[in-house]
Amino acid sequence: MNMERSVIMKRITFILFLAIASLSAQSQKADSLRIVNARWQVDSLDGMVLKQMHFDRKNCLGSNQFVAFIEIPSDSPRRLAFCCEEQRTQTSVQARRHNAFAAINGSFFDMQMHNPICYLRIDGNELGINTPQPSDSIHRKYYQYGTLLLDKGRPVFVVPDSARLAERNLQATDVMTAGPMLVRDGSLVPMRTDKTFVTNRHNRTAVGLRADGTILLVVVDGRTRQSEGLSLLDFSRLLRYLGCRQALNLDGGGSTTMYVRGYKNGGLVNHPSDNGRYDSDGERTVSNCIIVK
């Protein structure tokens, strides 16, 4: 009798698992179609395309979201570059200083000391290294497990090993570490579930690459009623829905910023949240950026 009950319970558990998996798959398919088929505002730029959408009916991964992304086709003359300031400087200001067409905020940094806390090399000059906390027993933080190289201004994604200074073995002149990787070879990267950095909703920034060579620079606003932000898992899903085969998470939260030269609001496309409002007045000063030349 006990064996029969055990078999029955296992069958019931298996059926419930299949039902939940089916519902999850249906929900993800609905999210994908809703995002892909949304009426995006599209602006054709010089060698780029800007797309943005405000999902204001809790219809983007179950929440209100403002999403913007820049597409740079593989045949575009536009190229990526990195920039960094000794003193924290707004993304829009750094972009204007370098005469950039567009920019997003870059990797993580120390708010008090201003320096990058992830490996950063620009034009062959090492400007930052991976800096764990004194209490860490590991060589890298979770946000230091993805590296972006620039090859003639085109992105190449690398997953480094755990050695803290592994990037010094890379031959590229421009190297930026951040993380984690969100999409790798077309698949979602498994996420840790014990980090609020991963599980909580925040503003997010990423750089991605489609199979056809199109570069994507993506921002999602957060921390307001109008745009609640995404967990890293939902952000990775969004990036895959947008067609990314590779995607790297960058600094987010109040740092999340997208700038386009000549755009309204001083070039700000999104709504940086350092002032706690859904407007264009909350841009944070940051250490480094990814710019489009």
pLDDT tens readout for residues 185-240: 999 999 999 999 999 999 999 999 999 999 999 999 999 999 999 999 999 999 99
With tokens 């947008």, the residue in question is 242
Residue 293 predicted with pLDDT over 80: yes
Average of pLDDT values for 141-160? 96
| Helix, strand, or coil (residue 57) | strand
User: 237-262 burial by CB neighbour count: b if 16+ within 10 A, else e?
Assistant: bbbbbbbbbbbbbbbbbbbbbbbbbe
Average of pLDDT values for 104-126? 97
Would you state the structure tokens that stand for residue 104, as one six-digit string?
């997003």
Residue 8 predicted with pLDDT over 90: no
User: Which comes out higher in pLDDT, residue 211 or 9?
Assistant: 211
Q: What per-residue confidence (pLDDT) applies to 29?
A: 64
Q: What per-residue confidence (pLDDT) applies to 17?
A: 45
Q: What per-residue confidence (pLDDT) applies to 134?
A: 62
Q: What per-residue confidence (pLDDT) applies to 148?
A: 98
Q: What per-residue confidence (pLDDT) applies to 30?
A: 77
The amino acid occupying position 270 is N
| Helix, strand, or coil (residue 270) | coil
Q: What per-residue confidence (pLDDT) applies to 207?
A: 98
- Tens-place pLDDT, residues 10-28: 666 555 444 443 434 445 6
Q: What per-residue confidence (pLDDT) applies to 33?
A: 84
Q: What per-residue confidence (pLDDT) applies to 4?
A: 66
- Tens-place pLDDT, residues 33-44: 899 889 999 999
Whether the pTM exceeds 0.85: the reply is yes
- What is the percent of the chain where pLDDT is above 90? 82
Residue 131 predicted with pLDDT over 50: yes
What does DSSP assign to residue 26? H
146-151 and 80-90 beta bridge pairing: unpaired
Q: Which residues, including other chains, have CB under 8 Å from residue 119's CB and lie 6 or more apart?
A: 126, 128, 129, 130, 144, 147, 165, 167, 175, 176, 177
Residue 263 predicted with pLDDT over 90: yes
Q: What per-residue confidence (pLDDT) applies to 22?
A: 43
Angle between helices 232-241 and 2-36 (to 10 degrees): 60
* Strands (E) located in the chain: 41-45, 48-60, 63-72, 80-90, 102-105, 120-122, 125-128, 146-151, 154-158, 175-178, 181-184, 187-188, 204-210, 215-220, 244-249, 258-260, 285-292
Query: Residue 31's pLDDT band (boundaries 50, 70, 90)?
Result: confident
| Average model confidence (pLDDT) across the chain | 91
Burial (CB count <10 Å: 0-12, 13-18, 19+), residue 211: exposed
Q: What are phi and psi of 271, to 5 degrees?
A: -130, 80
Residue 58 predicted with pLDDT over 80: yes
Q: What per-residue confidence (pLDDT) applies to 2?
A: 59
Domain ranges of the chain: 1-37, 40-292
Count of CB atoms situated within 10 Å of the CB of 22: 10
Average of pLDDT values for 78-106? 98
Would you state the structure tokens that stand for residue 275, as one six-digit string?
């002032």
